[in-house]
Structure formats: structure tokens, C-alpha cells
């Protein structure tokens, strides 16, 4: 074990532990000569401050907690990297937890974060209602940044994407290509992501003068299996849709699978636009036209927000909304007509 402590450094340098501590913390009120002696001692001994002791005493910490809702979803990959990169740049480390969409597990991790005295917390809430989320957060005494699923009027800092606008872009694109019966597979209505993407769908329909047909609205749970099932339901209709907008990456994978199983060609017999891009979305069975979220920036932004909050706890709450981008590949059929 690295059992070299501040005391060893102090002895080696011939100063008090207080002075060593001051040098370590860049306290300007230290004589240059002493500073150099301490730095040499640190170097010579390979000393490394014990973060646990520092945290206990200083009542401050340089670790950030990150709780995400489903580690298996590649959506979170770049988000994690975004968080990690800016945390690293600020010399902070990360504790990552996976709530697995389980409010109980989430609650437990919230307590862990508290017990670990993390400086702050970034979290993607699990699939529970907003009131539940809020009440859970109220219980912990740590700055929290909410990510992805978040109502605009929450009393917390948050980062999200303009879901309604993204969905609107997607469906408008489909309408412009001439599709008339556009279905949506959206997420749970108690999640803002499910609700807002659905709202964008309705706006686009209206703007395009297309009739709203409730039979074309399917509500899934953002998992592959649910995309698969709901697509089968859509295909079994007497009058199936001619296009489908699927509101997240995992469900889109399920939709694609269902379509392929039934031998339905995309986009010739069914157009498809998904939400969320993945590095391999262009390499899928049908290269996916997609509403792309700036995931890396989402992670960066959340971390910046947290850093800002830590620096100045009195600031008013802020919600940062990032824009999506429509990436046109083949599944929407745009290239069929050109």
C-alpha cells in the first residue's frame, strides 16, 4: 500500500503538515522556498494525498455520480463519454450506477451517492412519474442534474433535447415524401420523451393536413421487444400504415426485425424513420433515416451545468435544450424518388 502520508512529506521537507497541506492545495500564502522544498519531497517520496481523508475533513469531494437508466442501451455510450471527458478535464472522477429502470434500485443508488458524499449527481431518471422522481430527489442533499427525461418546469437543473421539434421534423419529412398513413410507436406517456415525441407527431400531422387516426398510435416501453410487437400489430391492421415513426433506437431495431420477418421491404413497402442515431445505423438491413440526438454534447452539457452549480450554489435553475438533427438515409424512401 502507498502508506506514505502527509506526515512523511512534512518530515522529509522539514516543515509542518499544515504547510504541506497548503502547498498541496495551492494556498498562495506559502513562502516560495518552502513550497519548493515540499514539492521536492512530494516528488522524492512519490506521495499521493489520501482522497478519503481529504474528503472527510474538507467536506468536499471530487467525484461525480452518474446514474443512468439502462446501461445496455448504446444511446448512453456517448453520453457517458461526454460526462467522463469533461469530468476528467476538471480532475474529477465518476461513479457510474445503473438503475436498470428500477425505482427501488435507483433509490438505493441515490442513498449510496449521498453516503459517498459525491460532489454532485447527474442522472437519467428511471421510468417513474415526475412527482415520484422529484420526491426522491428532495430527500437527498446533493446537487442534481437531470438528463434526457425531464419536464421543462422541474425545480432542478436539466439537459434535454427538443423532443417535440425532433419528432415534428421526422414526421414532416415523411409527409413531404407523400406518405398519408403515418404511424407512431412512442414511449410511455408518463415520460417526457414519450409524451413530447408524440406531441411532435401530432403537430406534424396537423401541419401537413393529415387526419389523425388513433389506430396508428402505439405506445411502447422503449425496448426492442416492444417495437417488435407493436409493429406486428400495425402490420396486422386491415389498413396498415405506409410509414412508421419510431421514437427511440431500441424500438426501431424491433420494428426493423418485424418488418424483415414479414418480408416487407423498407422503404419500398414501408417507410421508416427512427429517433436516435447509432454509429451503425447506416449499416443496418435498411440504412436508417433518423432523428439524431447530440449525445456527446448532452453529456458534456450536463457536466458543465453541474460544475457551474457547484461553483455557485445560489444560481437559479436552468434547463438546457439541445437541438436534434434529421439524418436522411434510405429507410424513409427519400432516395427512391430522386
The residues that touch DNA, with contacts defined as CB under 7 A, are 3, 5-7, 15-22, 24-25, 29-31, 33-34, 47-50, 53-54, 56-60
Q: What pairing do the DSSP bridges indicate for beta strands 144-147 and 289-292?
A: unpaired
Of 6 and 298, CB closest to DNA: 6
Q: At its nearest, how many Å lie between DNA and the CB of residue 121?
A: 19
Q: At its nearest, how many Å lie between a second copy and the CB of residue 98?
A: 5
Q: How far apart are CA 251 and CA 325, in angstroms?
A: 19
Contact call for residue 224 and a second copy (CB under 8 A): yes
Strand partners, 185: 218, 246
Peptide bond connecting 8 to the previous residue in cis, omega within 30 degrees of 0 = no
Identify the CA nearest to 169 among candidates 208, 209, 222, 130: 208
Q: What is the DSSP secondary-structure string of 129-156?
A: -HHHHHHHHHTS-S-EEEESS--TT-SS
The residues, any chain, with a CB within 8 Å of residue 277's CB and separated by 6 or more, are 249, 288, 290, 291, 292, 293, 327
Q: How far apart are CA 38 and CA 293, in angstroms?
A: 49
Of 4 and 326, CB closest to a second copy: 4
Q: At its nearest, how many Å lie between DNA and the CB of residue 135?
A: 24
22 is in the binding site of which of DNA, a second copy, none (Cβ under 5 to 8 A by kind)? DNA
Contact criterion met (CB below 8 Å) for 69 and 124? yes
**Which of the residues 8 through 37 are near a second copy (CB under 8 A)?**
none
63 is in the binding site of which of a second copy, DNA, none (Cβ under 5 to 8 A by kind)? a second copy
DSSP, collapsed to helix, strand or coil, labels residue 326 as strand
Q: At its nearest, how many Å lie between DNA and the CB of residue 95?
A: 19
Contact call for residue 221 and a second copy (CB under 8 A): no
Q: At its nearest, how many Å lie between a second copy and the CB of residue 255?
A: 10
212 is in the binding site of which of a second copy, DNA, none (Cβ under 5 to 8 A by kind)? none
**Which of the residues 198 through 217 are near a second copy (CB under 8 A)?**
none
Length of the chain: 338
Q: How far apart are CA 10 and CA 37, in angstroms?
A: 10
58 is in the binding site of which of DNA, a second copy, none (Cβ under 5 to 8 A by kind)? DNA
> Residues interacting with a second copy, by CB under 8 A?
1-2, 48-53, 55-56, 61, 63, 71-72, 74, 77-78, 80-81, 84, 88, 93-98, 105, 109, 111-112, 114-117, 140-141, 224, 253, 256-257, 260, 279-280, 282-285, 287
Amino acid at each position: 500500500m502507498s502508506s506514505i502520508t502527509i506526515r512523511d512529506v512534512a518530515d522529509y521537507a522539514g516543515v509542518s503538515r499544515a504547510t504541506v497541506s497548503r502547498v498541496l492545495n495551492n494556498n498562495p500564502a506559502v513562502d516560495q522556498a518552502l513550497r519548493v522544498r515540499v514539492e521536492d519531497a512530494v516528488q522524492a517520496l512519490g506521495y499521493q494525498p489520501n482522497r478519503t481523508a481529504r474528503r472527510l475533513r474538507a467536506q468536499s469531494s471530487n467525484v461525480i455520480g452518474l446514474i443512468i437508466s439502462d446501461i445496455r442501451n448504446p444511446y448512453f455510450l456517448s453520453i457517458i463519454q461526454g460526462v467522463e471527458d469533461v469530468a476528467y478535464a476538471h480532475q474529477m472522477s465518476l461513479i457510474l450506477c445503473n438503475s436498470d429502470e428500477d425505482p427501488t434500485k435507483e433509490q438505493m443508488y441515490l442513498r449510496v451517492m449521498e453516503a459517498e458524499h459525491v460532489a454532485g449527481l447527474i442522472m437519467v431518471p428511471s421510468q417513474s412519474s415526475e412527482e415520484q422522481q422529484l420526491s426522491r430527489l428532495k430527500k437527498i442533499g446533493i446537487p442534481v442534474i437531470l438528463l434526457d427525461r425531464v419536464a421543462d418546469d422541474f425545480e432542478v437543473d436539466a439537459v434535454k433535447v427538443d423532443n417535440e421539434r425532433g419528432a415534428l421534423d421526422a414526421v414532416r419529412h415523411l409527409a413531404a415524401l407523400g406518405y398519408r398513413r403515418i404511424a407512431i410507436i412512442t414511449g410511455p406517456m408518463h415520460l417526457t420523451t414519450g409524451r413530447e415525441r408524440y406531441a411532435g407527431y401530432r403537430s406534424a400531422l396537423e401541419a401537413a393536413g393529415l387526419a389523425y387516426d388513433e389506430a396508428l398510435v402505439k405506445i411502447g416501453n422503449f425496448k426492442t421487444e416492444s417495437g417488435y410487437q407493436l409493429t406486428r400489430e400495425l402490420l396486422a391492421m386491415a389498413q396498415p400504415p405506409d410509414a412508421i415513426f419510431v421514437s427511440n433506437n431500441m424500438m426501431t431495431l424491433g420494428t426493423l426485425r418485424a418488418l424483415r420477418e414479414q418480408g416487407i421491404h423498407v422503404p419500398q413497402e414501408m417507410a421508416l424513420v427512427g429517433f436516435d442515431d447509432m454509429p451503425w445505423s447506416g449499416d443496418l438491413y435498411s440504412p436508417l433515416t433518423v432523428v439524431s440526438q447530440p449525445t456527446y454534447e448532452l453529456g458534456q452539457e450536463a457536466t458543465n451545468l453541474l460544475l457551474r452549480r457547484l461553483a455557485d450554489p445560489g444560481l437559479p435553475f436552468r434547463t438546457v435544450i439541445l437541438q436534434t438533427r434529421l439524418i436522411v438515409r434510405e429507410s424513409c424512401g427519400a432516395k427512391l424518388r430522386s
